[in-house]
Structure 1
Amino acid sequence: MARLANVSQSAVSRAFTAGGSVSEAKRKRIMEAAAELGYQPNRLPGMMLSGRSHIIAVVAGGFYNPFHTMALDAFLKGISARGKQAMVIQVESDRLLDAVVADFAGYRIDGVVSSLSVGSHDIATALAAHRVPVVTLNSEITNDYIKAINCDNRAAGRLAARHLVERGATRFAFIGGPGDHIAHRERGLGFAQELAALDACAPTMVEGDYTYRYGYDWGCTLATDGSRPDAVFCTNDLMAFGVMDAIRKEGGLRCPEDVMIIGFDNTPGGAWRSYDLTSFDQNLDTLVARALSHIVEPEDEIDDSQPMPRLIARASTNRNQPGKEQDV
């Protein structure tokens, strides 16, 4: 290749080394020669010398939930933008990294990112034993090798409460996830605290499982309950969709006239006209950028403050101006 490009062997080596010093004219000739010869560089020697593969694993699961698909897309784009390679590991769980612990030892990777959570301190210790940095979204267990990037879930719950009270709601419910999950626990806590501060009725607190089916089943119960709430805050959009479909189909109720509903994650379906769901946007791009910084630039000072999710107000809570979407 060096002969075909009329350059030295060292110039070829530098051209295929990130940050290598070589003129643009030489780099162009080298790349043209490589394409003509069908050459692909062997990355193994560089991996052995540097101890880094430039591969970041993305652990994904629960693809029935659009949020995990959105997070995977954001991680893949962020990894590519940083000049790294992504390896996707899929697990059955829709919320925990626990199932992937045994897989880490088999891969030479620079780090792991995921929208799933670390389920226990024992799992965190097992993950740290591999000495590979792991960064999760919406988790709370950390150690020297595990970082957690969270939005301000409690503040979001408070804003949801104010939003509903300002629109005339008087009876409330919160449908969360399992109680051991920090994001959903914090959302429910902020919601209940703000309602108390506003001297509003205490909400009915329900633990769900994040699925459309759970939202639908709970919505069926709500539709036939004479003392039903007139405002529901769901911890994700998927359950909110289920609640909305159930109260319409099974109870003949209207949203927002009879029941106002807020979701979380601002998934694409929330903007569909059949739902028009008010929802929180977690600022995934910001969360993902910070997560990747912990792996790619661990020596840099990284902003670990919790960004405030944006409330996107749509018709599901907008009794006065249906169909008008706005940031709150």
Structure 2
Amino acid sequence: MAKLAGVSSATISRAFTADSLIKPETRARILALADEHGYRPNAMARSLNMSQSRLVALVVNTVANPAEGEGLDQLVHRLQARERMPLLLCCANHEDRNQLMRIASAYRVDHVVLYSDAVSIDDATDIFRSATLVVASSEPLEGRAVSDVRLDASAATRQVVDRLVDIGRRHFVYLSGRSSSHIDKQRMSWFSEALEAHSLAFDIVEHGDYSYDSGYKEAVLLLRRSRPDVIVCANDLMAIGVKDAASLLNIRVPEDLAIVGHDGVALANWEAHSITTIMPLEGMVSAALAEIIDRDPSAPAVQRVVDCVVRWARSTPELPR
């Protein structure tokens, strides 16, 4: 290819690297010649030569959850734009998650983004020994020297609680997701602390599984035996289920019942749902990408904190004028 194009082999290599310095017209001419002659660089050979595979393992629970799916969609597209190839591992329904990670580690991935709270940091670190681990699952680090991206919704949570208490709401219920979820425990803790500042606490804590069905079913059972005036849900899907359950029982939202979700998924912002939700100010995607693209692998591990904000909607009352 270098002889055909009349350039050096290094220039050929740069033409196939998205962020390399090369004149646009030179790149276009080389790529046109490559198409004409059916030439493609060998990524495996390239990885051996450069000691980089440019593979990024994304360890998630499931892509069926809109919160995970929407974030992954952004991350995958941005990785691809920087010529990093994502290797997706869905762990939720996989019996041997460690074996799944061992299979992925055989591809010598450069980075691992740990979204799943079903996989321990220690297991991921032990299996992906040659890769840089980026934790985004909110599992406590407890002194581990790994890069960490986590949410801080404490201020946004106080804003929600202060507003609802100011308009007279006193009976709060929390609908949790999986008991093993670290971020769920953190979210409930933030709300408990905000309520404690008003000498209040959750009347009841119910348990769902992050699905719409669990939000709907648990809310029907709850609302038939008690009348809370606020239900806080661990995610937006359950919050939508709670809203539909309230409609079934002729409970007015937000006049009789305020509903708050988490994650800020697009579905919650649809006109039919309009759920007040606590969401990242800037996606964890940007923070994780910075760890993958910008940080020197030899540099010390860092923690990046992503603040959250409230996206107000019609599932909570407006402040009195």
Distance 1:247 1:194 in 2: 25
Deviation at 1:54, TM superposition (A): 1.1
Distance 1:12 1:122 in 2: 41
1:181 matched to 2:181: yes
The alpha-carbon distance between structure 1 residues 99 and 263, as it changes in their structure 2 partners (threshold 3 A), is farther
Distance 1:196 1:208 in 2: 24
Q: Comparing 214-223 with 198-207, which one deviates more in the overlay?
A: 198-207
The alpha-carbon distance between structure 1 residues 281 and 19, as it changes in their structure 2 partners (threshold 3 A), is closer
Deviation at 1:172, TM superposition (A): 0.6
Deviation at 1:23, TM superposition (A): 4.9
1:325 corresponds in structure 2 to none
Across the aligned residues of Structure 1 and Structure 2, the Cα RMSD in angstroms comes to 2.9
1:111 matched to 2:111: yes
1:292 corresponds in structure 2 to 289
Contact 2:148–2:302 at 8 Å: present in 1 too?
Answer: no
Counterparts in 2 of 1:1-328, with a 5 A limit? 1-9=1-9, 11-16=11-16, 23-93=23-93, 100-117=100-117, 119-120=119-120, 123-128=123-128, 130-142=129-141, 146-200=146-200, 202-225=202-225, 227-249=226-248, 251-283=249-281, 285=283, 287-299=284-296, 304-319=303-318
Q: Using CA pairs under 8 Å that are at least 6 residues apart, name the structure with larger relative contact order, 1 or 2.
A: 2
Deviation at 1:211, TM superposition (A): 1.5
**What amino acid maps onto 1:237 in structure 2?**
D
The alpha-carbon distance between structure 1 residues 20 and 207, as it changes in their structure 2 partners (threshold 3 A), is closer
Deviation at 1:150, TM superposition (A): 0.9
Structure 1 residues 111-157: Cα deviation after superposition (integer angstroms, max 9, x where no partner) = 122432254465245335x3322323232244767433111144443
Contact 1:74–1:284 at 8 Å: present in 2 too?
Answer: no
- Gap runs ≥5 in structure 1: 322-328
Contact 1:71–1:284 at 8 Å: present in 2 too?
Answer: no
The alpha-carbon distance between structure 1 residues 64 and 284, as it changes in their structure 2 partners (threshold 3 A), is farther
Q: How many residue pairs align between the two structures?
A: 316
Distance 1:74 1:19 in 2: 19
Structure 1 residues 259-307: Cα deviation after superposition (integer angstroms, max 9, x where no partner) = 100001111111122211101122453x222222323333268873422
Contact 2:89–2:101 at 8 Å: present in 1 too?
Answer: no
TM-score (norm 1): 0.84
Distance 1:6 1:284 in 2: 46
- Gap runs ≥5 in structure 2: none
Distance 1:26 1:63 in 2: 40
Contact 1:154–1:186 at 8 Å: present in 2 too?
Answer: no
Structure 1 residues 77-115: Cα deviation after superposition (integer angstroms, max 9, x where no partner) = 221233322222333349x96573332332221112243
**What amino acid maps onto 2:271 in structure 1?**
R
Deviation at 1:245, TM superposition (A): 0.9
Distance 1:83 1:108 in 2: 16
1:324 corresponds in structure 2 to none
Deviation at 1:76, TM superposition (A): 0.7
Contact 1:237–1:264 at 8 Å: present in 2 too?
Answer: yes
TM-score (norm 2): 0.85
**What amino acid maps onto 1:242 in structure 2?**
G
Contact 2:279–2:310 at 8 Å: present in 1 too?
Answer: yes
1:280 partner SS? strand
Q: Comparing 56-65 with 269-278, which one deviates more in the overlay?
A: 56-65
**What amino acid maps onto 2:278 in structure 1?**
F
